[in-house]
Amino acid sequence: MNIQIPAHSIEFNEYGNTIWVHSPIGATILRIKTLGKITINKECENICSHSDMIVKENIEICLSEDAKILSDLDKLKQTYDALGISYVVVDKGSGYHLLYKSTEEEKVNCDFKSKEFFEFLDGKLVSW
């Protein structure tokens, strides 16, 4: 199960030990503390600021009404929408769906037979 919680910004102090992730309404939704210090790397190349962390212990998250549970199908649609990739989802019944990348013309003609597609059963990716 994939869960998304809306986030607005990340706050930290260089050489501090705490990172705060804030919600769109300004509430702290995630607080990360390190026993070390937070440093900044201005030489990395990426389209957005980011950090990778490894945590040895379990992480418990309290879910509220703002959390959104996403299926594999929802995640792929969200990714394609963000990238501007055109697609169509065909409902085959009984929880079975196919997602095809397509042009607008292919959507109108319903001509997807020769296209590469992803198969989902009850929202979970089963083949590609």
Q: What is the pLDDT of residues 44-56, one digit of tens each?
A: 888 888 999 998 8
How many whole angstroms from its chain centre is CA 110? 29
**How does residue 9 score in pLDDT terms, banded at 50, 70 and 90?**
very high
Mean pLDDT of 14-26: 94
* pLDDT beyond 80 at 34: yes
Mean pLDDT of 18-25: 94
Query: Would the pLDDT of 113 be above 80?
Result: no
Mean pLDDT of 82-107: 86
Cα distance between residue 20 and residue 12, in whole Å: 6
Quote the CA–CA distance of 61 and 82 in Å, as a whole number. Answer: 26
